[in-house]
Amino acid sequence: MKITAVIMAGGRGERFWPKSRNSRPKQFLSLTSDGETMIQKTVNRLRPLVEPEDIFIVTNAAYKDLVKDQLPDVPECNILSEPCARNTAPCIAFAAAVINKKYDDAVMLVLPSDHLIGYEDIYINTLRKAVAVAEQGKNLVTVGITPTYPETGYGYINFGAETGDAYAVERFVEKPDRPTAKKYLASGKYLWNSGMFVWKVSSIMYNLEKLMPDIYEGAVRIGEAFGRPDFSEVLVKEFTAFRSESVDFGIMEKAEDIFTIPGSFGWDDVGSWLAVERINETDDDKNYIEGDVISVGSERTTICGGKRLIAAIGVEDMIIVDTDDAVLVCSKNSTQDVKKVIAQLREQGRSELV
Amino acid sequence: MKITAVIMAGGRGERFWPKSRNSRPKQFLSLTSDGETMIQKTVNRLRPLVEPEDIFIVTNAAYKDLVKDQLPDVPECNILSEPCARNTAPCIAFAAAVINKKYDDAVMLVLPSDHLIGYEDIYINTLRKAVAVAEQGKNLVTVGITPTYPETGYGYINFGAETGDAYAVERFVEKPDRPTAKKYLASGKYLWNSGMFVWKVSSIMYNLEKLMPDIYEGAVRIGEAFGRPDFSEVLVKEFTAFRSESVDFGIMEKAEDIFTIPGSFGWDDVGSWLAVERINETDDDKNYIEGDVISVGSERTTICGGKRLIAAIGVEDMIIVDTDDAVLVCSKNSTQDVKKVIAQLREQGRSELV
């Protein structure tokens, strides 16, 4: 069966401010020294499994030109522009309806646009297994990451009986506190929820019809209009009427035949500035430094230079990011407070900096 | 007797990089929120005692335009441009010779251009006492600061017998280590050496002739040429031939009739970025913040913003300084290492940043 991929690229990525902005969120930035952006990496690592013409990018209409520029191999008609943000369930329903119109049925990989994968061969191999499971019946398959430490920032997947390469999913759980996360790891029955899904278009449409009929019906109307002159009009009308809902809550937590394929392929969700030192090589003092920087006695510090010199002297456990109009100097313990700066900027009406 | 002031403004002030540069050292910067530069403050606080036309600025020829711009009340002919840097003894000899030519004899206050004074009335009162002592005989008077803590970054003056407002100086001592500094404080016989001197022109010329005859003779030739068409030529010839020597070592440590007037008037030598929080008001979290800054949870941090936004999140005990072409992020424990950055920039041939 034809394998397609839907890459969700509508996020606003505030956690990488000041490098990420509303006008250019994380998935369109390079956070690695090779200069490739996150979404370019996402598409390129799929090449062994999916042709560029079978890759669909669902994104905010405002980012369509960024997608075109960064992914010239993806056909323009595969860029699905959401008129507004409605979380992942409407996003996936939109893409499923379009693929359904184009290919009747197909396997559909649903992937975030802003994660990193260290071991791409193992990743592709894991996806192949997920495809095989998805092709059977009405299975909804999610890729679970084998945890390596008790992370409190991810949701977890509790799995049960083994059936071949896959495990039946018992339940999805929200981000735990640390003692709970430790219990999950000790049990050997919990995986990290990576937000990657694999299913046939027919399987997700079946479940949408059953569990989210309002969104199903709107999506069907969008799919029917795809390619017609009135497509934009129908899309705006139907999509803006959708309620905002995640696919996890709307479908995965309620559907039957949910399976998980455990994977371990150097996955990183690149969730904050702290990730940069994890995903890049650091120097002898455990600093990650890019750009025009003079460091004297600095340790365990991430410095992303811009056009000007940054002199870092005796700096420890900090994040320093320079851009043309803003500099961030942030303790590693406070990276979650970047959003407070953005909130202040919004309050001050300084949208040019957000 | 006429009271004149000689303000020594030839320093290159590397410790305030990146705000200070070779092209605009510390004395020509404002480090306080009122916007006045250090040299402007130095001149303005002398107003009760010295007329602007009796204030002489000895500076590097490269800074003449800065002096003219910042001190429009000081006559241009009072700006004495050193063709090269030769430390304080030749600087003072040059100024003494010029004042000698202009006024025959006069009292001469010799003052740094880059210190701050908190209590200006008390300062002027202290200088008046020093003037009174200087007018008697061939006395050389230095203003000593009553120490408030065992500072290891200043030289000290050991004083002996009291004679009116003044005390006879026993000896000048170099920067002590901490135990020695503590002993000095406990003894009640040591003052900080502020680098401020008061004497008659005739007294310093007498001592120069006796203790540094080579410099005395050159200075006399410079003084004779002052106002003549060949002045520049004579100045360059004589001044460049001077050896580099401090007035402390060349005169003060060897002369007789050395007195000190103890003063306590909120003196601060503004020796490094650490001084900025001392000389300005800080917020409730002990931060000193100027410019376009958003601070979230930062403490005891000095932030001097430039044209761009600085976001400081969870930053503690740091110095952050933004300029158009360089940003400094420096631990308070490492402010002495600013000079290492300048050394690296010199090695890299990046003189535009020095």
- How many Å separate Cα B81 from the centre of its chain? 16
Cβ-nearest to B297 among A18, A308, A334: A334
Tens digits of residue pLDDT in B114-134: 999 999 999 999 999 999 999
Closest residue on chain B to A343 (Cα) = B294
DSSP label of A132: H
Examine the domain organization and report whether A154 and A232 are in the same domain: yes
Q: What is the mean pLDDT of residues B326-349?
A: 96
Helices and strands counted in chain A (H then E) = 11, 17
For residue A104, pLDDT over 90 is answered with: no
Tens digits of residue pLDDT in B184-195: 999 999 999 999
AA identity, residue A42: T
State which residues form the domain around A323: 275-353
* % of chain B exceeding 70 in pLDDT: 100
Alpha-carbon distance of A11 to A78, in angstroms, equals: 18
Examine the domain organization and report whether A288 and A151 are in the same domain: no
- Which of B268, B297, B321 corresponds to the end of one domain? B268
* Mutation site for B-interface testing, chosen from A15, A293, A310, A313 by largest number of B Cβ within 10 Å: A313
Q: Does A1 touch chain B (CB under 8 A)?
A: no
Examine the domain organization and report whether A197 and A315 are in the same domain: no
* % of chain B exceeding 90 in pLDDT: 95
Collapsing DSSP states into helix, strand and coil, what is residue B232? Answer: helix
Closest residue on chain A to B295 (Cα) = A341
- How many Å separate Cα B256 from the centre of its chain? 24
Tens digits of residue pLDDT in B198-221: 999 999 999 999 999 999 999 999
Tens digits of residue pLDDT in B225-271: 999 999 999 999 999 999 999 999 999 999 999 999 999 999 999 99
CA angle, corner A177, sides to A159 and A161, nearest 5? Answer: 5
Here the CATH number for the domain that contains residue A210 is 3.90.550.10
Closest residue on chain B to A330 (Cα) = B313
Collapsing DSSP states into helix, strand and coil, what is residue A196? Answer: strand
- Which of B237, B268, B299 corresponds to the end of one domain? B268
Tens digits of residue pLDDT in A211-235: 999 999 999 999 999 999 999 999 9
Examine the domain organization and report whether A81 and A154 are in the same domain: yes
Alpha-carbon distance of A228 to A234, in angstroms, equals: 10
For residue B197, pLDDT over 90 is answered with: yes
Do B341 and A314 make contact, defined as CB atoms within 8 angstroms?
no
* Mutation site for A-interface testing, chosen from B17, B295, B303, B309 by largest number of A Cβ within 10 Å: B309
Examine the domain organization and report whether B78 and B101 are in the same domain: yes
pLDDT of residue A11: 87
Complex confidence, ipTM: 0.86
pLDDT of residue A33: 84
Q: Does A333 touch chain B (CB under 8 A)?
A: yes
Sheet holding B302-304, edge to edge: A293-296, A309-313, B326-331, B318-322, B302-304, B288-290
Examine the domain organization and report whether B226 and B347 are in the same domain: no
Q: Does B274 touch chain A (CB under 8 A)?
A: no
* Mutation site for A-interface testing, chosen from B272, B294, B332 by largest number of A Cβ within 10 Å: B294
Examine the domain organization and report whether A246 and A169 are in the same domain: yes
pLDDT of residue B13: 74
Q: DSSP of B158-183, one letter per residue?
A: EEEEEETTEEEEEEEEPPP-HHHHHH
For residue B332, pLDDT over 90 is answered with: yes
Taking CA atoms, B212 is separated from A221, B111, B204, in Å, by 99, 21, 11
Instruction: Provide the mean pLDDT of chain B.
Output: 96
Q: Other CB atoms closer than 10 Å to residue B140's CB: what's the count?
A: 24
Examine the domain organization and report whether B217 and B79 are in the same domain: yes
Do B325 and A309 make contact, defined as CB atoms within 8 angstroms?
yes
pLDDT of residue B353: 96
Examine the domain organization and report whether A98 and A134 are in the same domain: yes
Examine the domain organization and report whether B282 and B168 are in the same domain: no
- Which of B236, B268, B300 corresponds to the end of one domain? B268
Q: Which tokens hold the place of A53?
A: 């013409």
Examine the domain organization and report whether B163 and B244 are in the same domain: yes
Alpha-carbon distance of A304 to A294, in angstroms, equals: 12
Tens digits of residue pLDDT in A22-59: 999 999 999 988 899 999 999 999 999 999 999 999 99
Examine the domain organization and report whether B94 and B183 are in the same domain: yes
Q: Among candidates B301, B342, B276, which has minimal Cα distance to A318?
A: B301
A–B CB contacts, 8 A cutoff, strictly below: 120
Q: Does A326 touch chain B (CB under 8 A)?
A: yes
Number of domains in chain B: 2
**Would you tell me which residues 284-313 of chain B have a C-beta closer than 8 angstroms to some C-beta of chain A?**
294, 296-297, 308-313
